[in-house]
Amino acid sequence: MKSLGFHHLALQVRDVDRVASFYRDVLGLVEVKRWSRDDGSLRSVWLAVDGSDAFAGFLAIEHLPGASPSSNGLGPSMIALRIGPDARAPVIAELSARGVQIEKQTGWTLYVRDPEGTLVGLSHHPFDAPP
C-alpha cells in the first residue's frame, strides 16, 4: 500500500466551539465544515491546515460526550492518511494478508489500530470508491 499523504488529525475535546475558535481565530486555520448530531448538537468542526483546502489536510475538533478534565479520552484520537478511492479494495486485501484487522469502516474510511493501539484512518473522503 502507498499513502498519498496526511488526511486529518482528530482532536477530542469537551468544548468544540471554544477549541475550534482558538485554532480558527488565534492560529488562523480556516473553518471548512461543521457537523451536527441528529439532535442538532455540535459534533465536530473541521479546520483546513493549508489555506482553505480541506483536501490538503484538516484538523477535526470533535466533541467527546461525558469527558471530564481527568478523562483519558481527550486529546489526539486518530491519525488519518489519504488513500485513493481506487485503492480501497487493494488496501483491504493487503491489510487482510498482513493480518491487520479492520476495526470499522465508513463509506470513505477504513479504521485500523497501530501496534500501540492508536487508531489509524485510511481515507479517500470526499471521493467515493468505485462500485
pLDDT digits (tens, 9 = 90+) for 69-124: 445 555 567 778 888 999 999 999 989 998 999 999 999 999 988 765 778 888 99
Q: How many domains does the chain have?
A: 1
Indicate whether 2 pLDDT > 70.
Answer: yes
Query: How far apart are the C-alpha atoms of 115 and 8, rounded to whole Å?
Result: 20
Domain-embedded: residue 1: no
29 in a structural domain: yes
pTM of the model: 0.63
Determine the pLDDT at residue 105: 94
Amino acid identity, residue 110? Answer: L
CA distance readout (Å), 52 to 15, 24, 30, 80, 103: 23, 11, 6, 19, 31
Residue 128 lies in a domain: no
Is the omega angle on the peptide bond into residue 126 within 30 degrees of 0, that is, cis? yes
pLDDT in tens, 29-57: 899 999 999 999 999 999 898 777 777 88
Q: Which domain holds residue 52?
A: 6-66+74-123
The answer to whether residue 51 is domain-embedded is yes
Q: Residue 15's domain is classified under what CATH number?
A: 3.10.180.10
